[in-house]
Structures are given as C-alpha cells and as structure tokens.
Amino acid sequence: MKDGDLDLTGRTTGEPSREPGDVPDEDLDRGEDTAENEDSENRYPDDEEEEEDEAISGNRADRPSSEAGRAAVEVLTRLLELMGLEGDVVCRETQDTTILDIEGDDLGVLIGRRGVTLASLQHVARLMVAARLSEWPLLSVDVCGYKQRRRIALEELARRLADQAKYRRRPIALEPMPPDERRVVHLALAHNPDVYTESEGEESERKVVIHPKRA
C-alpha cells in the first residue's frame, strides 16, 4: 500500500470484517513545475533577494496577511528543507482559519497511511507557530489537496454504508478515524432520514457506527 492511500472499510457490528467497496486510490503526486527561466542579463540587481523572500512566504500572490499565516509558511518551508523535500507552501486565510497546502511532486511521505503523518506535521507546525506567537493558532495543513479528496471519499463511503445499514437493518461500523474525519461522516449523514451515527471506542480506536432508524 502506498503512502496516503485511502484505506477504509465498513463492517457489520458483531460480524467479521468485510469490504463494502474499495475507495479509489488517489494520485498524490500532482503539481506542476512553475519555475521561470530568465536570461541573466535581464535580471534586476535585487532579483535574488526577491526570490529569497518568495521562498519564505510561498506563492507571492498568496502572501498571508496575518502574523500567524506568515509564521506558519516560514515554519513549514523550513521543515521541508530539513526533511530534504521540495514543495511550495500556499497559504489561504479564511475568517477564522489559516489553511496551508504544500504542493509539489512525490510528497506522499508527508501524508502517511490514513493521513497519520499529515496529522503529526500539522500538530508540529501548530506548536512551532504557537511558540512564536504565544497563542494557539487555528491552522490546517494539507498536502496536494489530500484532505479535500479524503473528505469526498469519506462522504461517498458514508452514504454507501448508510444504505447497507438501512437494508440489513443492523449497525455498521467504520474503521477508527481521527476526530476531523469522524466529523465528516457525521455531517454527511446528519440529515439522512433512515440512519443516525454515533462515535464509539476510546482514543485511537474511536470510530463511527451507523445505526438504522427503527420504523
């Protein structure tokens, strides 16, 4: 199994584990080479200084306006350098969250199985930014849009397993997930008239169980 593969199964509570359907593998190695080729004779004297600034702040068009965003881009860029990886840190700021997406080739190693490595990277980035700002930042770190694709896959899986729970008239449990992924499943089925969801288990073994509603 490659790093970053979407590995989810559903199983009927009390029955042996079974595969309700494979979630398609996603191509994590996306991103295009955007380096510009310029003739040295056409370069301005301070070009090198400007390029160094861009390397720290990410895409110039996405230069963060908040102190937390600027610190997060610098932290992630430095972490990539220390790990010997090449990637661009693109920052997008919403009203209450700073979203950072690391784009480049061969970055599946930053995601890990079921996104475990990505979750750890996000936690480390938050700790380092918090140490700079003396406050806990609201940061979301992604790699090549993995979280968006993961969310879509989870929503599709949730709906498919909800149909199975409805027709089998028995609960179906998904594999253990982190809190943010469990929330995706809960929200995907929040308005489903035939099932309801609950989280069961402790810590890393906590999972979502889909229950059919009684007629």
Domains parsed from the chain with CATH numbers = 1-23+146-215 (3.30.1370.50), 58-144 (3.30.300.20)
Provide the pLDDT for residue 30.
40
Average pLDDT over residues 98-114: 90
Provide the pLDDT for residue 24.
44
Burial (Cβ within 10 Å: 0-12, 13-18, ≥19) of residue 72? buried
Q: What predicted TM-score, i.e. pTM, was given to this entire model?
A: 0.61
Provide the pLDDT for residue 63.
65
pLDDT for 1 beyond 80: no
Q: What is the pLDDT of residues 13-72, one digit of tens each?
A: 444 444 444 444 444 344 444 334 444 444 434 444 444 444 333 333 356 778 888 999
Give phi and psi for 102, each to the nearest 5: -90, 120
How does residue 101 score in pLDDT terms, banded at 50, 70 and 90? Answer: very high
Q: Which tokens sit at 127? A: 């700790």
Provide the pLDDT for residue 113.
84
Q: What is the pLDDT of residues 152-208, one digit of tens each?
A: 999 999 999 999 999 999 999 999 988 889 999 999 999 999 999 999 999 889 999
Single out the residue of 122, 125, 113 nearest to residue 150, CA to CA. 113
